Structure 1
Amino acid sequence: MIYTFDGFDLDIESGVLRSDKSEISIEPKAYKLLCFLLENQHRMLSRDEIITHIWEGRAVSDAVLSTAVKSVRRALGDDGQKQQFLRTVHGRGFRFVADVQIQPSVEPLEPPKAVPRAAQKIPSKAGKNLTGGGIGQRPSVAVLPFRALGGEDQTAILAEALPHDLIQALSRLRWLLVIARGSTFRFRGPTSDLNQIGNVLGVRYLLFGTVELNGQSLIITVELSDKQSHAVIWSDRFVVKLDTLHELREQIISQVVSSLEVHIPLNEAQIASVNLSENMDAWSLYHLGLQHMYRFTKYDNAKAQDYFEQAIAQDTRFARAHAGLSFTSFQEAFLGHSDDATGAAERAHKSAERSLELDAMDPFANLVMGRTYWLEGNVEQSLDWLGRTIALNPNTSQGHYLRSLGEIFLVPSKTSFENVDIALRLSPFDPLGYAMLACRALHYINAKDYETAAFWGEKGAQSPNAHFLITMIAVIAHALNGNHKKARYWAATTKHKRPDARKEHFLKAFPYRDAAVNEMMSKALKDYGL
């Protein structure tokens, strides 16, 4: 990349400083100092920080640092009086103050393409040596340093710490290519052109934001943009008190990561649907499959399966497409989309196994494997896999929700209740949001707080994509709360969604170990004709 300022060009790739196309001689330490100043143009660099970076922490005198500063100024035609480029902040450090533009030193990169990962032996519960797998083109994102607005020292630190944490968290998402901090943190300051940065880094998505000090509060804004369409895909704003920042920082990171897990795939699916053709790559087909998978109808489930199968036909080692196929086969068995529920359950397990063989570290592959054991009535084994899912990606809302639901069937606890709250906090608009709300209702039924259970059962049943098993939860909650009018309404809605719906469907889908709870729910459904 090239830093351009007031007639000067510093080409990082070639290591050359030019003015009017003439090369300028500059000493090595001075060159390294100039690069460091330009990379951090948005803030002051302390003397200690400069010494640590330039001299790698070795003890050097102030005179040595002053000599390097003078060399930089001399190369730029600057001096200690004018301080046109390099300003001394007395007693503290130095700052580069000229306006800087950043541009590529080579032709813009093509969007990055994943290559097959080297085979790696990874232990799993299945006792296999699992290998990585290659895929087609996957979404890519660059997380840029945030801009610090006001309260320079305090906000500047956070403006770098938050994107650093986001890069680490997003890197755990196996489906997303995340550009490393060493590359993205070169683009600091308000003068950076986002489209140009996207071209230099070869990414489609850019995540950036601001940190502003407002009295005793910090205002943090985050925005995700699509470089190609110039559209804002998602944005959010967080206001936190300074004394709670440490506690809430992790929560902010989790919410941002979870939001990107929803909005990037949705945007990818929209792009693919607009550009439908016979030449779609495996990733485009996969994202179209996701779009249909989360609609939870028999028709859409079949469409999703078709797209996943097409993706696998293009790339047999596409782990996520196999996981998607497991998800849709699970839905066949769980929602009764197939007359052969046993066969569907077997296909779900087989596809999950194949996904894990290809990428044992993918949280989605682990999640779908956990669901397959649920179909077999082995809730304990299911919870083991869901626990592994959360360990691989603590920000997976669906992992927290499914673990909470599984724990309800065994021995409900405070932890299981907290898991569904975490899921809703991580992804308040998740495609499985209806199920998370209904899960809350089940928790309150267990706690014999039927009024609150009815409230959450109603919210779940009214949410988009709620299927007949969710409306059955609303029937049970209102019946136990004594609201017969509401219970009758949701019983009729259940029959409308699934004319042959009956209590046996519910009891098979939700395998409670407590016989008394089973009996109570069975009676509530039977009383309203189910």
Structure 2
Amino acid sequence: MQTDRIPVLTLQLFGPLAVHRAGAPLALPASRKVRALLAYLALARRDTSRSHLCELLWDVPGDPRGELRWCLSKLRAVLDEPGRTRVVTNGDGVSLDLADCSVDALQVTEALQQGVAALPADRLQALSALFGTRDLLEGLDLPHSPVFTGWLVAQRRHFRAAHAAVLEHWVRALPLASDTATAALERWLAIAPFDRHAHEHLLEALARRGRLREGEEHLAETARQYEAEGLDWIPIGRAWQAAKARHAVGSPASSVAAATHPDAAPQEAPAVARRASLAITPFVDQAPGATLRGGLGDGMTHDIITRLSKLRSMFVIAEGTMFALADRRVASEDAGRRLDADYVASGWLRRGPGARLGVSVQLTATRSAQVVWAQEFEGRLDDTFAVLDEIGNRIVTAIASQIEMAERNRAILKNPSSLDAWEAHHRGLWHMVRFNREDNEQARHFFQSAVRLDPTFARPHAGLSFTHFQDAFLDWRERGPAIEEAYRAAAEGVMADELDPASHWALGRAMWLKDRQGEALGELQTAIELSPNFALGHYTLAFVHSQSGDPHAAIGESDHARALSPLDPLLFAMLASRALALVRLGRHEEAADWAVKAAARPNAHVHIRAIAMFCLALAGRMPEARALAAAIHRTHAAYGIEDFLRAFKFDAQAELLLRKAARLVASH
């Protein structure tokens, strides 16, 4: 979208729909459906099928395709120009060409994709001005088009949340005692009246300006509103007392604060045991008449909340609270701010032809209104419980991994000296999955920092154990001491939280290193009993079984781990474990195909490439095996079969087979 010159067309979607050409308003057709079609296509920014547009706008028998053609002709009369077709039809698809146009809502969308936290104050001010005090597409409701109504409600909620995010970050970029900040705060509170951060910022601003009476009145009114909603206003009251103490005339705290940070925002005490918090709003069943509690949507929501809670890697808001907010028709975005949750997950269920069930899920970061992840899942309803279980597994693992990724990316941008335990842990995870010696050392440093900051937080202990495991497995340090440290760190994780699956996973891996395979399998089984969706637990069962246990079990566990976490940083190991199991079953060609996929992963280490080399040799694919051998020796000149076998624990038959593969490679 061009921003360096006056756009040919300007579409205003905030407030009543309006279109301008070269600054002059264009008369729009009186038909609401024509205007609704224009707004929908403008926000879609892609081809939309005619059948979907008919379903969107017409809910009565008749000739919807004929009416759609009529609406498109009306749009062409407004938008098309000599030599420039704006309303584009491509077979069954319909779209708008707005490449050199300005659309206020799309400017906001692009800013959200960039990340509002990184935008300067003047850009945030300009975005806030686009919203003004208006809602999206005011006056464009279509009571007899329920699909469009549902879409419009969702869009209005989304942009209301976007406006709150823009205002919040604008306030944080302004001198807090300024009139501009106060006006922005009041607008922020009008949009999100139960956002604790907005109240605390406003009370801080009032205290700084000595407007104590206004602060007391605001707190009293806030307390009444919160109590009416069953919400806890006490933290806001404490924030007001602290603000008054900081800015009391003549107090040492006020003079120091004024001298050092005259315009700083209120400081929040770091929460040492902070974890990412997640609110999951009840999934909406879009089937006709499915409005009562207790249906498929509620069942799936209950299941997802329960499973994510078992992972213990984040704080998940209890379902009682989420269903209570849904009964009050609180939108998901508003729920996130009311509960001060870092992330909000929401979803929709729809039934399609042929007993198909579709589930759409979206994960949003509350404070930035940025969609972190969105995906659609499908299954057949021949066995309702099976399909819900399968889709639920995929949703739970995807949400957990996406939050982990978002938190890792956020932590990597912070100054290392300012990290709390949660952030240090995620900084360690970022380094850990690089699988090289230098990053492994960095990961250990951050996990140790997290343990020092909060010894009761189990996950950093598991991460610390992982780094020692890597040292032993990849021969980066003397094996004996590394194995003992891996075991000790994992055991401390179990002591910190015996219900954390990652702690039992780490302990199982350490016991495997200590040649206590039976106990290792027991700990790994405990990890997946505690959390059936813990993909790394399933993968490590595959890893152990692939070498000296049940190769069929290894294949099943590897496949299950990949189904749960198809983009996992340890995907190379899942694929390689499957390949080793296939080798032991004599299925060498299949093994080679899987091993090559494993070796192609960007973070695959030397043992994974060696597995691919040996599998290729056993499959008779010697040119590929020799090419891999050459690549391995370029980075690990002395690497050989003894290095490989020392890292793993194969049974006697598998070891003979791999020695044969090594001889085949060496003889060519």
Letter in 2 for 1:400: H
Match of 1:243, SS?
Answer: coil
Question: What residue number does 2:48 align with?
Answer: none
1:367 and 2:505 matched: yes
CA contact (8 A) 1:108 1:200 kept: no
Q: Kindly state the Cα deviation for residue 260 of structure 1 after the two structures are TM-superposed.
A: 2.2
Letter in 1 for 2:509: R
1:348 and 2:471 matched: no
1:148 and 2:285 matched: yes
CA contact (8 A) 2:551 2:585 kept: no
- Provide the rounded CA distance (Å) in 2 between the counterparts of 1:240 and 1:319: 36
CA contact (8 A) 2:508 2:519 kept: yes
CA contact (8 A) 1:503 1:526 kept: no
Match of 2:488, SS?
Answer: helix
Question: What residue number does 1:92 align with?
Answer: none
Match of 1:185, SS?
Answer: helix
Question: What residue number does 1:44 align with?
Answer: none
Question: What residue number does 2:455 align with?
Answer: 316
- Provide the rounded CA distance (Å) in 2 between the counterparts of 1:462 and 1:222: 30
- Provide the rounded CA distance (Å) in 1 between the counterparts of 2:413 and 2:192: 33
- Provide the rounded CA distance (Å) in 2 between the counterparts of 1:427 and 1:256: 10
- Provide the rounded CA distance (Å) in 1 between the counterparts of 2:616 and 2:328: 55
Question: What residue number does 1:256 align with?
Answer: 395
Per-residue deviation, residues 118-153 of structure 1 (Å, max 9, x unmatched): xxxxxxxxxxxxxxxx96110110110112223333
- Provide the rounded CA distance (Å) in 2 between the counterparts of 1:135 and 1:416: 39
Q: Kindly state the Cα deviation for residue 274 of structure 1 after the two structures are TM-superposed.
A: 2.0
Question: What residue number does 2:410 align with?
Answer: 271
- Provide the rounded CA distance (Å) in 2 between the counterparts of 1:529 and 1:192: 68
Change in Cα spacing, 1:152 to 1:498, as seen in structure 2 (3 Å) is farther
Q: Kindly state the Cα deviation for residue 234 of structure 1 after the two structures are TM-superposed.
A: 1.7
Letter in 2 for 1:452: E
Q: Kindly state the Cα deviation for residue 174 of structure 1 after the two structures are TM-superposed.
A: 1.5
Question: What residue number does 1:283 align with?
Answer: 422
Match of 2:649, SS?
Answer: coil
Per-residue deviation, residues 83-133 of structure 1 (Å, max 9, x unmatched): xxxxxxxxxxxxxxxx9999633388889xxxxxxxxxxxxxxxxxxxxxx
Question: What residue number does 1:495 align with?
Answer: 633
Q: Kindly state the Cα deviation for residue 155 of structure 1 after the two structures are TM-superposed.
A: 9.7
Structure 1, unaligned runs of 5 or more: 1-98, 112-133
- Provide the rounded CA distance (Å) in 2 between the counterparts of 1:155 and 1:495: 65
| Higher-RCO chain (CA-CA 8 Å, sequence separation at least 6) | 1
- Provide the rounded CA distance (Å) in 2 between the counterparts of 1:463 and 1:155: 47
CA contact (8 A) 1:195 1:227 kept: yes
Counterpart of 1:409 (choices 528, 539, 547) is 547
Change in Cα spacing, 1:384 to 1:228, as seen in structure 2 (3 Å) is same
CA contact (8 A) 2:412 2:430 kept: no
Matches within 5 A, 1:176-325: 176-188=314-326, 192-215=330-353, 216-325=355-464
Counterpart of 1:443 (choices 574, 577, 581) is 581
- Provide the rounded CA distance (Å) in 2 between the counterparts of 1:415 and 1:343: 32
Question: What residue number does 1:89 align with?
Answer: none
Question: What residue number does 1:121 align with?
Answer: none
CA contact (8 A) 2:351 2:357 kept: yes
Change in Cα spacing, 1:497 to 1:437, as seen in structure 2 (3 Å) is farther
Match of 2:282, SS?
Answer: coil
Q: Kindly state the Cα deviation for residue 225 of structure 1 after the two structures are TM-superposed.
A: 0.9
- Provide the rounded CA distance (Å) in 2 between the counterparts of 1:180 and 1:487: 53
Letter in 2 for 1:266: M
CA contact (8 A) 1:285 1:307 kept: yes
Counterpart of 2:654 (choices 503, 517, 530) is 517
Q: Kindly state the Cα deviation for residue 388 of structure 1 after the two structures are TM-superposed.
A: 0.9
1:459 and 2:597 matched: yes
Change in Cα spacing, 1:221 to 1:518, as seen in structure 2 (3 Å) is same
1:174 and 2:312 matched: yes
Per-residue deviation, residues 53-87 of structure 1 (Å, max 9, x unmatched): xxxxxxxxxxxxxxxxxxxxxxxxxxxxxxxxxxx
Greater mean deviation of Cα atoms: 413-422 or 152-161: 152-161
Change in Cα spacing, 1:261 to 1:501, as seen in structure 2 (3 Å) is farther
Match of 1:501, SS?
Answer: coil
Per-residue deviation, residues 467-514 of structure 1 (Å, max 9, x unmatched): 11001111111101101001111112222343332111211222112x
Percent identity between matched residues is: 32
- Provide the rounded CA distance (Å) in 1 between the counterparts of 2:614 and 2:490: 33
CA contact (8 A) 1:103 1:196 kept: no
- Provide the rounded CA distance (Å) in 1 between the counterparts of 2:368 and 2:479: 43
Per-residue deviation, residues 245-273 of structure 1 (Å, max 9, x unmatched): 32121111111111123211111111122
Letter in 1 for 2:317: I
Structure 2, unaligned runs of 5 or more: 1-155, 158-190, 195-224, 237-270
Change in Cα spacing, 1:301 to 1:108, as seen in structure 2 (3 Å) is farther
- Provide the rounded CA distance (Å) in 1 between the counterparts of 2:232 and 2:604: 45
- Provide the rounded CA distance (Å) in 1 between the counterparts of 2:291 and 2:635: 55
- Provide the rounded CA distance (Å) in 2 between the counterparts of 1:350 and 1:291: 23
Q: Kindly state the Cα deviation for residue 289 of structure 1 after the two structures are TM-superposed.
A: 0.3
- Provide the rounded CA distance (Å) in 1 between the counterparts of 2:596 and 2:393: 28
Q: Comparing both structures, which one devotes a greater share of its residues to helix?
A: 2
Change in Cα spacing, 1:493 to 1:189, as seen in structure 2 (3 Å) is farther
RMSD: 2.5
CA contact (8 A) 2:542 2:574 kept: no
Change in Cα spacing, 1:149 to 1:434, as seen in structure 2 (3 Å) is same
Change in Cα spacing, 1:527 to 1:138, as seen in structure 2 (3 Å) is same
Q: Kindly state the Cα deviation for residue 428 of structure 1 after the two structures are TM-superposed.
A: 0.6
Question: What residue number does 1:384 align with?
Answer: 522
Q: Kindly state the Cα deviation for residue 386 of structure 1 after the two structures are TM-superposed.
A: 0.6
Per-residue deviation, residues 415-465 of structure 1 (Å, max 9, x unmatched): 332111111111111111001111111121111111111110100110121
TM-score (norm 1): 0.73
- Provide the rounded CA distance (Å) in 2 between the counterparts of 1:430 and 1:211: 26
Question: What residue number does 2:470 align with?
Answer: 331
Change in Cα spacing, 1:475 to 1:149, as seen in structure 2 (3 Å) is same
Question: What residue number does 2:296 align with?
Answer: 158
Match of 2:624, SS?
Answer: helix
Per-residue deviation, residues 349-387 of structure 1 (Å, max 9, x unmatched): 111111111111111110111111121222222111111
Q: How many residues align?
A: 408
Match of 1:236, SS?
Answer: strand
Counterpart of 1:398 (choices 515, 533, 536) is 536
Q: Kindly state the Cα deviation for residue 236 of structure 1 after the two structures are TM-superposed.
A: 1.6
Letter in 2 for 1:249: L
- Provide the rounded CA distance (Å) in 2 between the counterparts of 1:173 and 1:443: 28
1:508 and 2:638 matched: no
CA contact (8 A) 2:547 2:654 kept: no
Letter in 2 for 1:210: W
CA contact (8 A) 1:286 1:307 kept: yes
Question: What residue number does 1:78 align with?
Answer: none
Greater mean deviation of Cα atoms: 492-501 or 320-329: 492-501
- Provide the rounded CA distance (Å) in 1 between the counterparts of 2:389 and 2:287: 23
Greater mean deviation of Cα atoms: 378-387 or 289-298: 378-387
Question: What residue number does 1:39 align with?
Answer: none
Question: What residue number does 1:139 align with?
Answer: 276
- Provide the rounded CA distance (Å) in 2 between the counterparts of 1:142 and 1:199: 10
Q: Kindly state the Cα deviation for residue 191 of structure 1 after the two structures are TM-superposed.
A: 6.5
Letter in 2 for 1:196: D
CA contact (8 A) 2:458 2:496 kept: yes
Q: Kindly state the Cα deviation for residue 392 of structure 1 after the two structures are TM-superposed.
A: 0.8
Letter in 1 for 2:505: L
- Provide the rounded CA distance (Å) in 1 between the counterparts of 2:486 and 2:624: 36
- Provide the rounded CA distance (Å) in 1 between the counterparts of 2:408 and 2:634: 30
Counterpart of 1:431 (choices 569, 587, 596) is 569
Q: Kindly state the Cα deviation for residue 154 of structure 1 after the two structures are TM-superposed.
A: 9.0
